[in-house]
Copies of this chain bind each other. A is one copy, B any other.
Amino acid sequence: MTRPRLRDLGIRIGRLPAGPHNAITDVPGVWVGQTTLRHDAPRIARTGVTVVVPREGAIWGDHAFAAYHAFNGNGEMTGIHWINEAGLLSSPIAITNTHQVGAVHEALVRYGHERRQMKHWLLPVVAETFDGWLNDAEAHHLQKEHVYQALDSARPGPVEEGCVGGGTGMICHDFKGGIGTASRLVETSSGRFTVGALVQANHGDRDLFRIDGVPVGREIGVDRVPRPWGTARPAPAATPSSSIIVILATDAPLLPIQCRRLAQRATVGLARVGSVGHNGSGDIFLAFATGNHLPANPEQPVDLKMLPHVHLNVFFEAVAEAVEESILNALCAAETTTGQQGRVAHALPLEEVKRVWEKYRGKT
């Protein structure tokens, strides 16, 4: 990670403080692991997988409440029927390229049996965005061992961003996109909690791109930095995929119905950066909360705590800010990438960002 993160540019998003790593891993027990596949032979790979592992990996037997929201459903996130029915997340979450959903799904099932001694059926969460513009997606590069490697390497602390893991081949607001993360600390009379976000950002249109309201996208004309697909915007039906997966985590004791409220607020973060949820976009958001513990097979009523709904207001702001900054971090970190057929996705030009920012907001 040689490129700076957004706040290294002197730009702050929102009014809430970030956690120590400004990453989803600031939520206690939440780990991230990534496997990146980047090679040119025998076929060109610009792909990978990113996993979010709750409860230091104990999620298989110590479930967490969760819920999802689809802002635009042109995408896949498996495992959501049970999350919708029971509100329970019971395995790690994986994000990859669209056409590797099957391979990752099978790998997660096998991992549960082989490494976690799971004895019954598994319904893992696998989400995706499409990297087939840069990556030779039909090569189906990703194998079981790559998923295992991501799971085994998952750890707390700083998270690599940009062209890594599932984000390796992604494109965002017509710049190079990928993985981004951020966090916020929230205080209520119910206590102090952390909200973290991780995105795989592959969505959006240059002209609508904003940083804290500053219209950076339309100021960086295609004459300065070409779009991946050239100066002319392609016909809508020919637009490359544009999707974003958002994973939200908190250590607060939220119910499933409250996780759903958080998940829907990811929309606000997207909207601030300039998304309108294009037709081709799979904009699907999953939120989980580790503040309550749900054993796999309880025999007695489970004791829970529930944050009062009215205390969620600051969580809603935290989600909006963390998602907004996660997208921007993905863009800041991602480097110019050449993929199949000589195609190039240019990095967000940070000097240009600074120039535009100063024009609108003065020296940072």
Please give, as numbers and ranges, the residues of chain B lying within 8 Å of A81 by CB-CB distance.
70, 73-77, 80, 282, 284
C-alpha gap A261/B82 in the complex (Å): 12
Complex contact B99–A102 (CB within 8 A) = no
Known A189-B299, A236-B311, A265-B277; judge A98-B73 contact (CB<8 A): no
Q: Which of B98, B132, B137, B268 contacts A275 (CB 8 A)?
A: B268
C-alpha gap A81/B88 in the complex (Å): 19
Q: Which of B103, B122, B213, B241 contacts A215 (CB 8 A)?
A: B213
Please give, as numbers and ranges, the residues of chain B lying within 8 Å of A107 by CB-CB distance.
102
Q: Give how many A residues have a beta carbon under 8 Å from the other chain's beta carbons.
A: 97
Complex contact A300–B189 (CB within 8 A) = yes
CB nearest neighbor in B for A127:
B81
| Mask: chain A, 259-293; 1 = CB below 8 Å from B; 0 = not | 00100110110011001111110101000000000
Please give, as numbers and ranges, the residues of chain B lying within 8 Å of A108 by CB-CB distance.
102
Q: Which residues in window 298-320 of A have CB below 8 A to B? A: 298-313, 316-317, 319-320
Complex contact B300–A71 (CB within 8 A) = no
Q: Which residues in window 314-357 of A have CB below 8 A to B? A: 316-317, 319-320
Q: Which residues in window 235-269 of A have CB below 8 A to B? A: 236-237, 241, 253, 255-257, 261, 264-265, 267-268
Q: Which of B78, B101, B105, B255 contacts A87 (CB 8 A)?
A: B255
C-alpha gap A256/B267 in the complex (Å): 22
Please give, as numbers and ranges, the residues of chain B lying within 8 Å of A80 by CB-CB distance.
80-81
C-alpha gap A123/B280 in the complex (Å): 12
Contact of A130 with B by CB under 8 A: yes
Least CB distance from A217 to B in Å reads 12
Q: Which of B70, B84, B101 contacts A78 (CB 8 A)?
A: B101
11 A-B Cβ contacts within 8 A? A70-B81, A70-B84, A74-B123, A99-B109, A102-B108, A120-B130, A213-B215, A268-B276, A271-B272, A276-B317, A303-B304
Identify the 9 closest CB pairs spanning chains A and B, nearest first.
A213-B213, A102-B106, A73-B85, A102-B105, A73-B81, A271-B271, A298-B308, A268-B271, A301-B305
Give A contacts to B, CB under 8 Å.
Answer: 15, 70-82, 84-88, 98-110, 113, 120-123, 130, 132, 137-138, 140, 189-191, 207-208, 210, 212-215, 236-237, 241, 253, 255-257, 261, 264-265, 267-268, 271-272, 275-280, 282, 284, 297-313, 316-317, 319-320, 360-361
